[in-house]
Amino acid sequence: MSLNLDSIEISVVVPLYNESENIENLFTRLTSVLDQLKITYEIICINDGSKDNTLDQLIQFNQQNSTIKVISLSRNFGKEIALTAGIDHASGAAIIPIDADLQDPPELIGQLIEKWREGYDVVYATRRSRRGETWLKQATAKAFYQTISKMSPVAIPANTGDFRLLDRKVVEAIKKLPERTRFMKGLFAWVGYKQTSVLFDREPRYSGNSNWNYWKLWNFALDGIISFSFLPLKVWSYVGVSISLVSLFYALFLVIRTLAFGVDVPGYASLMVAILFLGGVQLITLGVLGEYLGRVYEEVKGRPLYLIREKYGFDSLSSL
């Protein structure tokens, strides 16, 4: 099946890292849904430095079906960057990012397109339930969305991943955002435009294990908060002012007590507690400053977001 790039209605973007167990079922469900919708489409798969045979399988599917296109990055850059690479190379009038683990059901694509045709620019899929996840994972996810909603001036929808439909004008706006620490959920919300949601029940992974552990999720949450809020910096300014005021009142208390009762030998324990407390506050403050400074350092180096090792299914025009 040969497609004219100008006629492509929907581009489905799929980042993959060690997802060889899910690929066959992914394409079976995706192509079945897209063919039933009777639209022109392309499926852009980004191999994010997989160590299994993910790339080999993607190449085989590309040879069998020209609507499946493959981008293989030079190494593992992370899901957010892989998703960015796919968006950069997508040519459809609308783009739908989706995970390869099939927790986000391809069967929902029809509803996303219906809302898009009603005039919405962004249609995001919100999880009504999260089956197959531990109570700890659900609790930490809820805590993260509550925290970032209070700290960020940008309204980021809760229980919403990358699975959504983006109109072409939204995609062009996102492509203008150059930051290297990319929290895509935040970027999708930051651009604005006319947005709505559809609800769905999230299924467990079809096969294999998630590449996300709690340490990675913690760093991901940290990236999201720091990318979209200055509140952590402001907090420590208020902490510093509060400690200074408490210290001032305590100093006045000591002066008055000394004048009234004479010189008193200070306690060793209270002195050590004060020193350790203030030292801890200073180290935490330096850590917060370091997080922001580290991101500034990443930006000023000006390195490309990703490097492509090879591409399959793209003609010369789309390979620029």
* pLDDT (tens digit per residue) in 233-287: 667 667 766 776 676 676 677 667 666 666 555 664 566 566 767 776 777 777 7
119-123, 154-158, 245-249, 313-317: range with lowest mean pLDDT: 313-317
pLDDT, position 39: 84
Instruction: Report DSSP letters for 31-50, one per residue.
Output: HHHHHHTT--EEEEEEE-S-
pLDDT, position 5: 44
Within 13 Å and on the Cβ side, how many CA atoms surround 9?
12
14-23, 108-117, 180-189: range with lowest mean pLDDT: 180-189
pLDDT, position 54: 86
> Which residue, 310, 132, 148, is CA-closest to 226?
148
The residue type found at 98 is I
> Which residue, 224, 236, 219, is CA-closest to 154?
224
Strand, helix or coil at 274? helix
Nearest-5° Cα angle at 158, 157 to 159: 120
Any idea where the domains of the chain sit in the sequence?
8-214+303-315, 231-301
What architecture does CATH give domain 8-214+303-315? Alpha-Beta Complex (3.90)
Q: In what order do the strands lie in the sheet with 122-130?
A: 195-202, 122-130, 160-167, 94-97, 10-16, 41-47, 68-73, 308-312
